[in-house]
Structure 1
Amino acid sequence: MLEELAPTQQEIFATPLKQAVESATALIGLMNADQSDENFDALLADTQPRMIAAVQKFTKMLQEAGASTRIVGTSLLLR
């Protein structure tokens, strides 16, 4: 679980952890969306190979463990 403590004062910018979680959540959501092969290929072409490899490793680990996940971002919930 990744969770940030509530800041003691209002932040002007999102933290690096928040940005990373939101970005990863959005990418996984797009990868799971019902879309054409062409749209999926375009999504992969626009995504850094490191990110694709990380998502593959993460989902493979979940599949091999027979696990499920719940990813909660500020504006998006994935199951």
Structure 2
Amino acid sequence: MEEKSVDEQLTSREREILQLLVEGKSNKEVASKLEISTRTVESHRANIIRKLHCHSFSDLVRYAIRNKIVET
């Protein structure tokens, strides 16, 4: 069985949330735009950080941009 690359492990919703966060949107703004709760955004954010083996949000942003997971 072939292993997925780290960024392929993200769901489409996680990618969508990551893109908005990298664009500088707050958790509250992302929640409002996607019509979900702030807590759901926080959960997705924590899962993304865990899946991509980052230690902080700033690490996540750098990783996502460097590895072209998001558009800049």
Q: TM-score range by the shorter chain?
A: 0.3 to 0.5
TM-score (norm 1): 0.36
Report the structure, 1 or 2, having the larger strand content: 1
